[in-house]
Amino acid sequence: MENPIAVDIWRELGFRWRRKVGYIYGDYFGESRNKRYLVTMDVEFRPDMDDRVLELSITGEIKYVRGKGWVALGQIYDEVEDAINKGAFEPIMPLYVVRKMLEIWHIYHLNGVKPVPEEEADRYLECLEKYRKAVKREGRGSIDYYDFMVQCYGKNFGDKWYSWRIPNSTYRWILAKFCKFDDKQINRLVRLKQILEEREDVELNKD
């Protein structure tokens, strides 16, 4: 017999949400400031029924408003953050929301496959920030990510994959501020997330 709770978890927790977050002025890319590039952000949640964790994936794209083709796709975190810091970003959604989403992106993107245990997150994020600064200074492709992180973090970096749980407060914030869900939707999704993560006596399946 089909387990209704399991089906709800699989169907409702797993979704993708796209939002237009702002524009980057053309002068950021060495062109006319009047030429604008649209920035969109995609948030995807995937329930991992084996590890019992709700995985978050965040990607984005930067595209010329009146033409075809993209300037950047995928992990556009650095470009958006840099454009904001240089005053070359015009927000569509509130700027504090964009900044917070970048922070969440930095910490929890692919939280189901992290290279270090969650209790060592601060140390890992400190090394990751050093790597990002080194890349900005030296240029893309100039520094090997794995070698840099092993040297910074230690030889046990990436020895296995670890799952980090997204705090319920962070999950609620994404659903409310980015996805614009109402309280009823948010409360239901948070409850399903808790069932998934707390390993309650429920037979979960994907069927």
Q: Is the pLDDT of residue 98 over 90?
A: yes
Question: Which of 54 and 198 is assigned the larger pLDDT?
Answer: 54
Q: Is the pLDDT of residue 136 over 90?
A: no
This prediction's pTM: 0.85
- 3-state SS of 6-65? HHHHHHHHCEEEEEEEEEEEHHHHCCCCCCEEEEEEEEEEEEECCCCEEEEEEEEEEEEC
Q: Is the pLDDT of residue 203 over 60?
A: no
Q: Is the pLDDT of residue 5 over 70?
A: no
Asked if 31 contacts 23 with a C-beta cutoff of 8 angstroms, the reply is no
**pLDDT band at 52; cut points 50, 70, 90:** confident
**pLDDT band at 6; cut points 50, 70, 90:** low
Q: Residue 59 has which token pair?
A: 């990607």
**pLDDT band at 67; cut points 50, 70, 90:** low
Question: Where are the domains positioned within the chain?
Answer: 4-113+163-198
